[in-house]
A and B are shown apart, each in its own frame.
Chain A
Amino acid sequence: AQTVTQSQPEMSVQEAETVTLSCTYDTSESDYYLFWYKQPPSRQMILVIRQEAYKQQNATENRFSVNFQKAAKSFSLKISDSQLGDAAMYFCAYRRPGGSYIPTFGRGTSLIVHP
């Protein structure tokens, strides 16, 4: 079974600084998808960024970028120029390919942004 591990229960960053959230996963598949979701206090799950395993180029969305290391099964999220609105729980997720789409989530990292 696939597992997703987020080893940092909580991270802190100063406003305008950069922070990296780590995620590792375990799979025997060669093709899959990885996601970072943000969950603010409103509890709404918001997709931040997505990476296809077959793409070597790291995904980027404005201030959010990933460092995808397929061989190491690592998928970290970098947030640049952190803003107070970035404070939230961040979940890493893995999705199997093919007809059965059931994302597997890590336990989450709580990001605190200090003004």
Chain B
Amino acid sequence: NAGVMQNPRHLVRRRGQEARLRCSPMKGHSHVYWYRQLPEEGLKFMVYLQKENIIDESGMPKERFSAEFPKEGPSILRIQQVVRGDSAAYFCASSPDSGNTEAFFGQGTRLTVV
């Protein structure tokens, strides 16, 4: 059973471009969580999705950021018109249910905006 797969591992974008970060949860996991980690900081929750539904997006910036988890395929975190302040590590985690288990993390995508 492969772990949570995130790609790309590293992504460089110029200001104003779009960034698309992908996350394939562990097999059998239907719950996906995205976190952002700024330098010298912990993980900040962004969005929680189940298949085809956004459950909680209270941590998402109101503009330029969006997320989806389609019926088929990986979850996508999309950042439009990136700015330097978007540079961070973005982590995806998945869970088999919303019960009594921990979240399993991917290795993250390091986004650098130049």
Residues of A participating in the B interface, judged by any CB pair closer than 8 Å = 4, 6, 33, 35, 37, 42-45, 47, 50, 52, 91, 95, 98-108
Q: How many residues from B make CB contacts under 8 Å with A?
A: 26
Q: Which single member of B35, B56, B100, B102 contacts A35 (CB below 8 Å)?
A: B102
Interface of A is mostly: loop
Establish whether residues A99 and B98, one from each chain, have CB atoms under 8 Å apart when the complex forms. Answer: yes
Given contacts A100-B55, A100-B56, A102-B56, contact A42 B98 (CB under 8 A): no
Which chain A residues lie closer than 8 Å to B24 at the CB level? none
Establish whether residues A43 and B95, one from each chain, have CB atoms under 8 Å apart when the complex forms. Answer: no
Within the assembled complex, what's the spacing in Å between the Cα atoms of A99 and B55? Answer: 10
Establish whether residues B48 and A102, one from each chain, have CB atoms under 8 Å apart when the complex forms. Answer: yes
Pull 6 A–B residue pairs with CB atoms less than 8 Å apart, ordered by A: A4-B42, A33-B100, A47-B102, A91-B43, A101-B33, A101-B95
Within the assembled complex, what's the spacing in Å between the Cα atoms of A4 and B98? Answer: 20
Q: Which single member of A44, A91, A95, A104 contacts B107 (CB below 8 Å)?
A: A44
Which single residue of chain A is at the shortest CB-CB distance from B47? A102
Q: Which single member of B42, B95, B104, B110 contacts A105 (CB below 8 Å)?
A: B42
Given contacts A50-B102, A106-B42, A107-B41, contact A101 B31 (CB under 8 A): yes
B19-62 at interface with A (beta carbon < 8 Å): 31, 33, 35, 40-45, 48, 55-56
